[in-house]
Structure 1
Amino acid sequence: MLSSVSLRHLRGFIAVAEHGSFTQAANVLGITPPTLTATIRQFEDIIGMSLFDRTTRQVALSTGGGRFLPVARRLMADFEMALDDLDAQSKGLGGKVVVAAAPSVLTRILPQIIVEFHAAHPDASLRLDEMNAGEVHDAVAKGEVDFGIAGDWKPLPDIQFEPLFSDQLGVVCRHDHPFAGRTQVLWHELVDYPFVGLGPESGTGAILARHSGFNAPPASIVTDALDGGHQDRSHLEFEPDGGHPDKADIRRSHALRPVVETSNTVTLCAMVAAGIGITILPELAARVEASRDLVFVPLGAPVRERQIGVIRRKSRSLSPIARIFLDIVLDRAPTMPLAARLRWHLPF
């Protein structure tokens, strides 16, 4: 009967899958190889299928085993988290909080919050993982972290994104660049300079792919808008000074392509500081790199914003200590002097 499946079966299955060897898995689990072999065979008898394809040289997951592995890992993670929560409650809300966040959130917002959190809960521990938006969403979906704070990315099953704040995109350039003394730069002007950018796995990279000239509209839309046809202004994202762009400006703007692409803002700004090109970042992220003597200039016509939010699983509630930490974030973050003009979206 399937009800006979136990944590012992799940632990054994995961260990063999991860190590590809019954002997190595048994050593990790602290049992003998024959005992582990018997456990896996019993598991396979209960479910009525083979979980591994065995040869004399290797052990590999079967098709069914491969499909079941992420489920087994999630079940074990949920069980261990539940035990941690019970232990934390018995000790007066100690325990561990794991948070994945964008670099700008980790460096500009969370440090002050952690000071207050640990003053009130000295027995609690905290782990912070720096990730881009795509990695944060995946980590939350897999149950590897309690929650995330990062940009919106793409819809994932069982994931909810609750907006926390928005900040405007702008150009980041060296202090000696022609844009450095400006109060605003227009999108169509970017094509005149080498550009370095973030990949689509980042929240900012995804915004640029969706909304800027990185994805050109169909030629018929541009032609119609310029030649007196149906003028849907929402398609014309590079209007200089709010006027009607000429055909050359629009088509040149859509030629913008990064000469260097990276997934890390520190690397990105190092490229800018070296004079390789300019880049686009949200204001809060740009302020993190201010020590590099770089300049942030807002982009307009149109104004684009990055939205940062709290990322959680819909089907799983936060542990008591993780909920306390998140509540402090929501309460204190909007009051911080961040040197960036953010639009807060509180309360949830």
Structure 2
Amino acid sequence: MDLNLRDIRALVAVAEAGNFTRAAERLHLSQPALTVQIRRLEETIGTRLFDRNSRNVALTPAGRELLPLMRKSLHDMENVLRDARALGDGERGTIRLACLPTFAASVLPELVIGMKREVPRVAFEIRDVVASTVNALVRNEDADVGLTGGEVSDPMLEVLHTGVDRLVAVCPRAHPLAKKRRITLDDLVRSPLVLTAPGTSVRAVVDAALSETREAPDISCEPTYMMTAVAMVRAGLGITILPETAREVRAEPGLIVKPIDHPAFVRPIAIVKKRGRTLPVVTDRFVKLMQHAVVTA
């Protein structure tokens, strides 16, 4: 028979009370039940732990040596039990999130602050990466939940919530298109473009929209990161197309943001988890906060 939490509590209680009756009252047990429990414990360990007489009990030398170890074990096991209950109640834990950089740099900080107000003992592991990497991290269980872009077709991923991210054109204030109220598809095709690299969710939306025109777009460069695209626009290499929620679009005072007059310039976004996996309770709570922050179509 293995030692368990009740056995250790019984030994510590009897040692501290010096009496089976008082120890039984503390543990809410009958005295005979406690006596049987201590006897079983001694049989399991293979040595007598208490010397008994009609009035009190005293630890044997073996019992005195074991008591500090049992107290430490009891403390550790009670902490484990307390932490396990907190995990089960969603009152602590680590939220492992993979998400698009636009989300990480816009609404995520406020969501993290709000979550920490609700659950002070929550921790975060955040990976801000492109959509394909978000999907891979969730699929490989390196993240429990992800906020990804584009259509989710991976059968291993379950979509928890969907929304949209509208795309806008970003150009220098001196650019001819900066004077227009709205930019058309033809305007974009006739201008040099700084587009995010192929394989990114934004680029997939842009390529699909531009495919409706007969003219081939003039792509001047294809950076991976949005901040690099903004820097390229500032340098005069063209205009870029980025999500409206991206803070990069307003990072430069010399640039201006213009809406695009075409319904195709909308990026689908989704909150996903691995199919068949149960989210930690604290992560499930955070997903509900994320759902309120995602713009629905």
Normalising by the residue count of structure 2, what TM-score does the alignment of the two structures yield?
A: 0.66
Which residue identity is paired with 2:128?
Answer: E
Q: In the alignment, which of 320, 324, 347 is matched to residue 281 of structure 2?
A: 320
CA distance in 2, matches of 1:289, 1:302: 20
In the alignment, structure 1 segments of 5+ residues that lack a partner are 1-84, 214-236, 238-249, 335-342
Structure 1 counterpart SS, 2:141: coil
Closer, same or farther: CA 344–90 of 1 in aligned 2, 3 Å: closer
Structure 1 counterpart SS, 2:112: helix
Contact kept in structure 2, 1:133 and 1:202, CA below 8 Å: yes
| CA distances 1:310-333 after superposition (whole Å, capped 9, x unpaired) | 0211111211111111112224x2
1:289 match: 249
1:102 match: 100
Contact kept in structure 1, 2:96 and 2:144, CA below 8 Å: yes
Structure 2 counterpart SS, 1:315: coil
1:279 match: 240
CA distance in 1, matches of 2:187, 2:289: 42
CA distance in 1, matches of 2:125, 2:147: 13
2:222 match: 261
Indicate the larger mover: 165-174 or 141-150: 165-174
Deviation (angstroms), 1:192 = 2.5
Which residue identity is paired with 2:250?
Answer: A
- 1:344 equivalent to 2:293? Answer no
Q: In the alignment, which of 161, 166, 169 is matched to residue 168 of structure 1?
A: 166
Contact kept in structure 2, 1:169 and 1:303, CA below 8 Å: no
Closer, same or farther: CA 155–251 of 1 in aligned 2, 3 Å: same
CA distance in 1, matches of 2:107, 2:229: 21
Structure 2 counterpart SS, 1:198: coil
Contact kept in structure 2, 1:108 and 1:288, CA below 8 Å: no
2:272 match: 311
Q: In the alignment, which of 111, 117, 140 is matched to residue 142 of structure 1?
A: 140
Closer, same or farther: CA 301–164 of 1 in aligned 2, 3 Å: closer
| CA distances 1:148-206 after superposition (whole Å, capped 9, x unpaired) | 11212552231133443223222111111111121111111223222111123211111
| CA distances 1:14-59 after superposition (whole Å, capped 9, x unpaired) | xxxxxxxxxxxxxxxxxxxxxxxxxxxxxxxxxxxxxxxxxxxxxx
- 1:123 equivalent to 2:102? Answer no
Which residue identity is paired with 1:314?
Answer: R
Q: In the alignment, which of 253, 259, 269 is matched to residue 298 of structure 1?
A: 259
In the alignment, structure 2 segments of 5+ residues that lack a partner are 1-82
Closer, same or farther: CA 160–206 of 1 in aligned 2, 3 Å: farther
| CA distances 1:260-309 after superposition (whole Å, capped 9, x unpaired) | 11221111111111111111112112x44302122111112454211221
Closer, same or farther: CA 319–204 of 1 in aligned 2, 3 Å: same
Indicate the larger mover: 299-308 or 266-275: 299-308
1:186 match: 184
CA distance in 1, matches of 2:165, 2:88: 41
Deviation (angstroms), 1:211 = 3.3
Contact kept in structure 1, 2:189 and 2:210, CA below 8 Å: no
Q: In the alignment, which of 96, 108, 111 is matched to residue 109 of structure 2?
A: 111
Which residue identity is paired with 2:277?
Answer: R
1:51 match: none
CA distance in 2, matches of 1:92, 1:309: 23
1:76 match: none
Which residue identity is paired with 1:171?
Answer: A
CA distance in 2, matches of 1:190, 1:92: 48
User: Runs ≥4 in structure 1, deviation > 6 angstroms?
Assistant: none
Structure 1 counterpart SS, 2:204: helix
Deviation (angstroms), 1:138 = 0.9
Contact kept in structure 2, 1:168 and 1:303, CA below 8 Å: no
Deviation (angstroms), 1:99 = 0.7
Deviation (angstroms), 1:87 = 7.4
Normalising by the residue count of structure 1, what TM-score does the alignment of the two structures yield?
A: 0.57
Structure 1 counterpart SS, 2:192: coil
Which residue identity is paired with 1:116?
Answer: G
Which residue identity is paired with 1:169?
Answer: L
How many residues end up aligned between the 2 structures? Answer: 214
Which residue identity is paired with 1:146?
Answer: D
Which residue identity is paired with 2:214?
Answer: R
Structure 2 counterpart SS, 1:183: coil
Contact kept in structure 2, 1:133 and 1:153, CA below 8 Å: no
Deviation (angstroms), 1:257 = 4.1
Which residue identity is paired with 1:172?
Answer: V
CA distance in 2, matches of 1:306, 1:139: 20
